[in-house]
Structure 1
Amino acid sequence: MNHRTRSDAHSPARARHTGASLLGVYLNDHLAGATGGAERARHMARSHRGTDLAAAMEPISDEITEDRAILIEIMERLDIPVRHYKIYAGRVAERAGRLKSNGRLVRRSPLSPLLELEALRVGVEGKAAVWQTLRDLADDEDRLDPDLLDSLLERARRQQGTLEELRRRQIGPALRTA
């Protein structure tokens, strides 16, 4: 029979373990989102091939994919296991998001790019939040590179700006009536 005392349950070692476990949950949740975001960005670049939107999305798609890989590397450095079921869930959620009708059953709606860009922008906001969180933790965690995290945070902010500009360009084609 285990008779832990109250002080054992609230010991610094237990708190560190709990914090590490929660960080693992947090980072795996963000990895699921990053997986969906990378898939969405690639899908947008492919589905708009030959347009200005695709040309703008291709480098963002590459960066989002690279950011996802960096998140996995950071998790490895922190000895946080990747929960593959969450990666799968991120892929499934992104693909399920493609099934929305947007007012059209057979072909893409003019509303699709606007909604996709909004979803990506929200995803990049989440990515900026995880980079900021890790940056805040970097002061006490020598396995985190503050310079890398600053760079990733700046890139996420730049991506937010680009996605917002692209989103605003889609408002007219999607929503203005003739």
Structure 2
Amino acid sequence: MNKSINWKAAIIAGGVAGVVSGLVKLGWENVLPPRTPARNKTNPPQRLLEQFGIPATITHSTYTYSEQQLPWVSYMIHFGFSTSFAVFYTVAGRYVPFIRLGQGTLFGLGIWGAFHLGVMPAMGTVPAPKDQPAEEHVSEALGHIAWMWTNHIISDALYQQLTSKHKQ
């Protein structure tokens, strides 16, 4: 167990990794969409916020880019989730190296299972796992693996660079 950690470097490395991995996960979902267009009219981040009483006029707010309406509120939740878990992984992985097994891929798979098969169905944010299409499970499971592997690679490299005594 590593008891010495540079917290500032870990938070910066995790934050940067979380933004980049959030972009990777969005790209992944363009290649393998996890939900049908009908189910994506209100995506899980929007549904979660609505469950907390935030009106649809806010949760479905968009901005226009290249003539397309993009859900900025969903993106805030998406990147907040991504950066929070990336920072957690970067810090906790220094204390509990077990979570870094498989370069973050097992941790990513665990996050998918915990949230997409456990927490969100229990809250009614998404359907029960048995009622989710197989395509959703495949996209989300593989997407979480790619997402956390990206976090691992970027946060590790950046942390090493920020803490190196021989900075270039």
Q: Which has the higher helix share?
A: 1
Which TM-score band applies after superposition, normalised by the shorter structure?
0.3 to 0.5
- Greater gyration radius: 1
* TM-score (structure 1 length as normaliser): 0.35
* TM-score (structure 2 length as normaliser): 0.37
